Structure 1
Amino acid sequence: MPACCSCSDVFQYETNKVTRIQSMNYGTIKWFFHVIIFSYVCFALVSDKLYQRKEPVISSVHTKVKGIAEVKEEIVENGVKKLVHSVFDTADYTFPLQGNSFFVMTNFLKTEGQEQRLCPEYPTRRTLCSSDRGCKKGWMDPQSKGIQTGRCVVYEGKQKTCEVSAWCPIEAVEEAPRPALLNSAENFTVLIKNNIDFPGHNYTTRNILPGLNITCTFHKTQNPQCPIFRLGDIFRETGDNFSDVAIQIRQVLQGKQC
């Protein structure tokens, strides 16, 4: 029986022989296929991004504001100033949702005793008049509060404005009360509930974790997963003072990083 190997076989090695052929036809075919493969890779990775799988995302956001505020208003009744106390709850200071947003009223201007009738328009450059010729019957200016009757009537003293059919008396142009009437809205809380569905992967997630204590309040370090935010804390994180911005409009945007 012959031996499987000998000592001389241990010191043997094999190498491939490469033959270089100078041919225009073979060279053209080689580079043609190289260009085709390179072009497809560039198209797939850069342009069409075929390495990515695109799936639609369905997201829904629900917000709920809670809190009670006591409002102190100074009104004039029969020529006498009175201080009136009112209590505002969620139904009073929130408005119907529009998209993924919520609105909290922190300040307001109130016109007492309004009813539908005829009255002089509030004096502005467009409503001032000296005679009926300065008023057009049936005209409604986009910035007006009513429809003109065509008459020029006395507003106050010697000042005349066009008469309108509207909710009277017309709301006066005044500065917002300072401090804000609902300044205690700083302690209101808002629940932001976000559900995200990936139908292509049959996967649904949300920002409210199972077993989470729903009586919590968000804190950066102590309660970072809590979806209930205090309005005052939201403004503090933006570097603003709630009492200063409560007379203006502030927008809260929600983003999610994957």
Structure 2
Amino acid sequence: MLLACGIAEQNVNVTPACPCLRGWLDGWWVFIYEKGYQSTDTAISSVFTKMKGVGYTNIKGSERVWDVADYVFPPQGDSSFVVMTNYIITEGQKMGKCPELDGKHNCSSNADCEGGSFKRTGHGQMTGVCLNTTKTCEVLAWCPIEDDVMIPDPPMLMSAENYTLFIKNSVTFPTFGVSRSNLVENIDNSYINKCLYDPTHAPLCPIFRLGDIVKLSGFKFETIARVGGAIGIVVDWTCNLDVDIKHCKPKYTFHGLYGNAAETDQARASVGYNFRYAKHYMEDKEQKRTLLKVFGIRFDIIVQSLARKFDIIPTLTAIGSGVGIFGVATVVCDLVLLYLLPKREFYKNMKFKYTDSHVQDPDSEACSTETEVCKK
């Protein structure tokens, strides 16, 4: 018979060295802590967003109000969108010939401006003419050419800090037939109209102030608003469906994905986030456009999910695996005790029982059956 790992012997402590104990603990770790008795499923998710807020600018006496239709790109309420916080505007552009910006196509003669060619950093096609007034090449482009060297500081739309974002998220765990929304129990219209997300006091409110999102992600709003950046909003659904469904609630976290040189981002090339957007119109039968270089905060809403529920199949599998591991560990334990430990002879004597074997004389066996002959 096999000897158990914890052999009772006062002078020898074998439990720490016994691998079968570890195998037993590993089995319970998987079964209890890792919830080996439950099956898992990930959710199918949809996200709907809505921005609210009004911005105001006053540039050289020209006042303007910016609403949602002006500062959100794209406007469909997707899970990934940009909120404009700063911009460079070039109005009244039309197609024509004009001098390139200084430093882009500098020249001293027409020979420096190859007609019909482009430069990667330029704004149009060179005409082959070097303009003496600017010492730059003439180009066919949208004129006047945008000058984006000076980025407005402070940002033009610092009021974006007080914009609010509404997130509506629905998830379905198809394996378990469970559907949930982040508008959980007690989140009704009256509550939404007055609540504002706070990680401590209102962790389930789906209304978020942009300034709070930026702060919770680790950025400073005035810094990221100047040149733009990106922030990830993670909606985490980690649910134990063995308890009441009302305990399956979302948890929001915020992460700065990339920003600008003043932050902790180590990549200093092409900092921030920006893109160009043009509004075309006709004036005196001539096509014109207003060009905006938009600096903004890109928000990516990421839904991650994991639901667990008791299932007899993984339960039996986990138990069977534990039993198997325990059996293998017992064999290893025997090998260690019998062949590796200093007092292996002691364990060998405890494990095996030795008996003396006596060889019987054939003549004596014969005598036992033929008593009369042996007596003679």
Post-superposition shift, 1:101? 1.3
Contact 1:116 1:168 (C-alpha < 8 Å) held by counterparts: yes
Residue of structure 1 in register with 2:66 after alignment: 88
What is the alpha-carbon distance in structure 1 between the residues aligned to residue 151 and residue 223 of structure 2?
A: 12
Post-superposition shift, 1:128? 1.0
Q: CA RMSD in A?
A: 2.7
Match of 2:229 among 232, 235, 250: 250
Q: Secondary structure at the match of 1:119?
A: strand
What is the alpha-carbon distance in structure 1 between the residues aligned to residue 184 and residue 123 of structure 2?
A: 49
Residue of structure 1 in register with 2:46 after alignment: 60
What is the alpha-carbon distance in structure 2 between the residues aligned to residue 193 and residue 240 of structure 1?
A: 24
Q: Secondary structure at the match of 1:186?
A: helix
Match of 1:186 among 161, 167, 173: 161
| 1:230 is aligned to 2:198 | no
Which of the pair has more CA radius of gyration? 2
Q: Secondary structure at the match of 2:232?
A: coil
Q: Secondary structure at the match of 1:86?
A: strand
Matched positions, count: 201
Post-superposition shift, 1:63? 1.9
One-letter identity of the residue aligned with 1:243:
E
What is the alpha-carbon distance in structure 1 between the residues aligned to residue 40 and residue 145 of structure 2?
A: 56
Higher share in helix: 2
TM-score under structure 2 length normalisation = 0.48
One-letter identity of the residue aligned with 2:93:
Q
Contact 1:116 1:165 (C-alpha < 8 Å) held by counterparts: yes
Match of 1:195 among 170, 189, 199: 170
The aligned runs of 1:7-156 (5 Å cut-off) are: 55=41, 57-74=43-60, 83-96=61-74, 100-124=79-103, 126-154=104-132
Contact 1:63 1:101 (C-alpha < 8 Å) held by counterparts: no
What is the alpha-carbon distance in structure 2 between the residues aligned to residue 224 and residue 120 of structure 1?
A: 56
Contact 1:187 1:230 (C-alpha < 8 Å) held by counterparts: yes
What is the alpha-carbon distance in structure 2 between the residues aligned to residue 198 and residue 136 of structure 1?
A: 62
In structure 1, the gaps of 5 or more residues are 1-17, 19-44, 75-82
Distance 1:147 1:55, change over 3 A: farther
One-letter identity of the residue aligned with 2:161:
E
Distance 1:143 1:201, change over 3 A: farther
Post-superposition shift, 1:103? 0.5
Post-superposition shift, 1:253? 0.8
One-letter identity of the residue aligned with 1:246:
A
TM-score under structure 1 length normalisation = 0.68
Higher share in strand: 2
